[in-house]
């Protein structure tokens, strides 16, 4: 049997039914993922567009700034980055932007000597 969404062969017994479609596990997870259920196609096309356009067109100014600072300075602790961004930003706001960027696979966190650092993907 083939997945109705990505057309990959599904092992017998591995198929998942979702709204009348037979899906492979990956597609099912993707469809059910809470980050995407709000508007899966918008996310999908934004990601594709970005891939083709080859630039950060889908980013907010703050997200672009975060990427720029990480590019210029290398990996940083969240608090360091917060200082550089300025703009009276709260750490929790910065963390929310970071989570969005991580979801786009642009940045990631890493632990060094027991401290959390943020870096480009």
What's the rounded Cα separation, in Å, for the pair 34 and 85?
29
Runs of H (alpha helix) within 60-112: 61-73, 78-85, 91-103
Q: Candidates 5, 102, 108, 119: give the one binding Zn ion (CB under 5 A).
A: 5
Q: What are the two backbone dihedrals, phi and then psi, of residue 21, each rounded to the nearest 5 degrees?
A: -105, 145
The span from the first CA to the last CA of the chain, in angstroms, equals 36
Per CB under 5 A, does 28 bind Zn ion? no
User: Least separation, in Å, of the C-beta of 9 and Zn ion?
Assistant: 10
Footprint of Zn ion on residues 101-120 (CB under 5 A)?
A: none
Range in contact with Zn ion (rule: CB under 5 A) among 22-30, 78-86, 87-95, 103-111: 22-30
Residues near Zn ion, by CB under 5 A: 3, 5-6, 24, 27
């Amino acid at each position: 049997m083939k997945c109705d969404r990505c057309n990959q062969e599904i092992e017998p017994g591995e198929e998942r039914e979702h709204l009348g479609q037979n899906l492979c596990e990956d597609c099912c997870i993707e469809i059910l993922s809470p980050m995407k259920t709000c508007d899966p196609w918008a996310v999908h096309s934004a990601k594709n567009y970005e891939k083709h356009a080859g630039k950060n067109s889908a980013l907010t100014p703050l997200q672009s700034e975060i990427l720029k600072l990480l590019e210029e300075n290398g990996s940083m602790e969240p608090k360091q980055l917060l200082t550089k961004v300025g703009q009276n930003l709260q750490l929790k706001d910065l963390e929310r932007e970071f989570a969005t960027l991580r979801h786009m696979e642009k940045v990631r966190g890493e632990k060094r000597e027991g401290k959390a650092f943020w870096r480009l993907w």
